[in-house]
Amino acid sequence: MVTGSSGSSPAEVARHWARSGVMALTGHRGAAPVLPVGDAAGWAARMSDRIAEATRQTRRPVLVDGARLLAERAAFTGHTRQGRTSPGGSCRLLPTADGWAAVSCARPDDPSLLGALIGHEADERLPERLADWLSGHTGAELDERSALLGLAAGAVRQQRPAGDPDAVAPPGPFRPVQDLLVVDFSALWAGPLCAHLLGLAGAQVVKVEVPTRPDGARLGNPDFYRLLHAGHRSVALDPADRDERRALHALVRRADIVIEASRPRALARFGLDAAAEVERGCTWVSITAYGRSSPRVGFGDDVAAANGLLGFDAQGLPVFCGDAIADPLTGLAAAVLALTEPEGGHGVLREVAMADVVAATLRKPEGDIGTAAEHLPLARPTARTPAGPVPAMGADTAEVLGRLGIGVP
């Protein structure tokens, strides 16, 4: 039973979850799907309704179903529910001395970092050793050490108070983005989804990558990558090279909207100053796991689970809710913010913390959602069709820089 208070009835919440495809990704393999807590599917649908409202009077109205976007990646990859292992396989829910933890191992350096966490060299027994270590340590200890090491891991807060559904993307007047220049430094899913939605609305999106550190999603499902990046230009610039660094700065200075998902110190190494760009009138969208001032890092699975967006099995134990669900939720919120007119028409820094987005979705209606969902047909993850091909990394560097009057390195 899920109880609480929100503006949505149990029947409405259940309908959104049932048609989203997320329930097919929630629960144990071979067992019945599990109804997640909160109203994330309904919240996502409301975000996509706001995007439709923002673009309805333009030549490029954006009509997407936010609830279905939450499970869309799995429609391409074929991933399904695996209980306490995320559908993509890179995150696990493990018991701690005082509860549960979500621990991701997705990056090449993560095994070494996990070895440092538990004080043992990473070897073939790392998963077993990690489980043993967690069982003897509290969630607070894990949070502290993960922040120091830069690990995407955190204690699960099953009773986190729900946030204000409008807190991360408060209502406001919209602005047209057709023909605005969007410079997108983000990777993986949340930031690229934001850029994708702005591109559908007619913005000119330029994806910027460092040649030595391309978007890791390029190595994932190619059709899903095409879905998010079709129609965008690809620029590759190395800030370690003096001329390319100068071109990078010039490109950012011409941007109407910048999307990034890096901590401020990483941007500083590139010589980028969000405050200066905001001062000249840019909308700067900054996506992080826990906020720009937090040392913590995270990905869609561990942030969602650690902040209470879960399902619970027949034994009352936690299971993952969907596939990296904090990512598409955050991408939707970021797009709404980018489409919202800054106060006074000036520049603005839009901070979008994934943990805050998750909290905004946890409001619960009064009543038994499970009963309302019992007889609803459950949709499988569904995918939209990619709009076309995507360029190879850096294929458009000379064309984009030349068109903007920036000297080509």
Residue 4 has pLDDT above 50, yes or no: no
d(CA 192, CA 207): 9
The answer to whether 238 touches 244, Cβ cutoff 8 Å, is: yes
The answer to whether 292 touches 351, Cβ cutoff 8 Å, is: yes
**Do the domain assignments include residue 335?**
yes
Which residue, 283, 260, 257, 255, is CA-closest to 270? 260
Q: N- to C-terminal Cα distance for the chain?
A: 61
Which residue, 210, 105, 74, 96, is CA-closest to 143? 96
Q: Residue 285 belongs to a domain with what CATH number?
A: 3.40.50.10540
**Does the CA dihedral 17-18-19-22 come out positive or negative?**
positive
Number of domains in the chain: 1
Q: What is the mean pLDDT of residues 336-355?
A: 93
pLDDT category of residue 131 using cuts at 50, 70 and 90: very high
Residue 333 has pLDDT above 60, yes or no: yes
Q: What is the mean pLDDT of residues 270-285?
A: 95
In this structure, the number of other CB atoms found within 10 A of the CB of residue 157 comes to: 18
Residue 162 has pLDDT above 80, yes or no: no
Mean pLDDT in the chain? Answer: 93
Q: Which residue has the higher pLDDT, 76 or 121?
A: 76
**Do the domain assignments include residue 120?**
no
- Exposed / middle / buried, residue 394 (Cβ in 10 Å: 0-12, 13-18, 19+): middle
d(CA 309, CA 116): 28
**Do the domain assignments include residue 319?**
no
Residue whose tokens read 């009138």: 281
The answer to whether 210 touches 262, Cβ cutoff 8 Å, is: no
- Give the range of the structural domain holding residue 69, as residue numbers without chain letter: 46-76+176-306+324-399
The answer to whether 391 touches 231, Cβ cutoff 8 Å, is: no
Residue 163 has pLDDT above 50, yes or no: yes
Residue whose tokens read 């605005």: 180
**Do the domain assignments include residue 355?**
yes
Q: What percent of the chain has pLDDT over 70?
A: 95
**Do the domain assignments include residue 162?**
no
Which residue, 318, 261, 269, is CA-closest to 292? 261
Q: What is the mean pLDDT of residues 297-307?
A: 97
**Do the domain assignments include residue 266?**
yes
Q: What pTM was estimated for this model as a whole? A: 0.95
**Adjacent-strand bridge partners of 233:** 206
pLDDT category of residue 334 using cuts at 50, 70 and 90: very high
d(CA 61, CA 51): 8
Lowest mean pLDDT among 40-44, 80-84, 367-371: 367-371
Which residue, 366, 59, 407, is CA-closest to 237? 407
The answer to whether 31 touches 60, Cβ cutoff 8 Å, is: no
Q: What is the mean pLDDT of residues 71-82?
A: 98
